[in-house]
Amino acid sequence: MTKTDKHKTIKATQEYIGSLRFWMMPQDGGQIVEVTYAVDEDGVWSRTCDRSDRSQSYHFAAYPASATEEQLQFEPQNGKLPKHNKWHRVSIV
């Protein structure tokens, strides 16, 4: 993964994206547009899959520097994302 460029697009390799484990939250299940989430040491990743046309897009949001350990807990089974900053589009390189 690389950090944001001046246009606020995150660049990531397909290999890195493939190494993340994405989870679906209960409230997002059973939809045509499926949104799943993963976390790493830098922040939260989202993957949006439109099952009608099989398109996928990715977004990334960094953790805020001031977040506490409790705010960074990831509990997808309970519908809880860690505290994060603004979402940015991810470009696969």
Please state the domain count of the chain. Answer: 1
What predicted TM-score, i.e. pTM, was given to this entire model?
Answer: 0.85
Q: Are 16 and 1 in contact (CB under 8 A)?
A: yes
Summarize pLDDT for 12-52 with one digit per residue, the tens.
999 999 999 999 999 888 889 999 999 999 999 999 999 99
> Is residue 5 domain-resident?
no
Range(s) of the domain holding residue 84: 10-92
> Is residue 1 domain-resident?
no
Neighbours of 90 (CB within 10 A): 20
> Is residue 2 domain-resident?
no
Task: Indicate whether 5 pLDDT > 60.
Answer: no
Mean pLDDT along residues 58-76: 94
